[in-house]
Amino acid sequence: MATTPSNARADLHGQVALVTGGGRGLGRGFAGALAAAGAALAVAAHSAAEIAETVSLVRDAGGRACASKLDVGDVTDVDGCVAAVEHELGPIDLLVNNAGVASPPGMDWEVDSSAWWRTLEINLRGPFLCARDVLPGMIARQRGRIINISSAAAFGNSPSLSAYGVSKAALTHWSGRLAAQVEQDGVAVIAYAPSVVRTAMTEPPGDLARLDPNHPRRFPAYIRGGPRRLPRAYRGGLHGPRLRSRRRPDRATCVGE
């Protein structure tokens, strides 16, 4: 597989990307970067107002985008979203599984069990359902890319983020298993774990900041502006380098085959 220089600009013209959780934060940043690279963009999230704003921003910048209200934990919602996107924009070439929620507050023996499990339904089952729907088409076309947004919490041990950490660890390991299943079919699957980025979830008093006493109350300067460019995992389009796990604290972590 040909490699792509780390400073190369992505060219995603003629490709369709679906970003879940695209209404705000990282999802909105990914959506804007993918649209700027030329992809036709589908923005999906549970908040109709937020995804409408993201789509408006993309269109104002000259991009092509559509909005789809989506609960990634609902199989009917996911099936309908993927079908609607492919009807409007065409087959999905790139899926960014970004939608996620934080853990319920408290220790495991104190939290509501349904809320704990709901975290896994959104953060793990949601990406599984989305991938399941787009993969048959990707395999048939012998090309595609799935980016699962993981977290450093997958490798840590914060007691106040139990369900979140478990969900992201499982997402990371599942990404490797899925990658092995489809690597002969021209499809790449990557778990991408950004470092801490200033979003509504992480910025005090956001969910992660509220639940984790070790969460930073101040952000380094390089995080304050949010995502500014495509992560390296995106820049090869559908045929970029495969990235293995790396654990440098100043860089994102990508896991995949």
- Positions marked active-site: 150, 164, 168
Residues in the chain, how many?
Answer: 257
Type of residue at 208: L
Q: Which position has the token pair 């790139």?
A: 94
Task: Give the Cβ contact number of residue 132 at 10 Å.
Answer: 14
- CA–CA distance, 253 with 219 (Å, rounded to integer): 19
The tokens for 39 are: 């992809």
Strands 94-97 and 144-149, by their bridges, are parallel
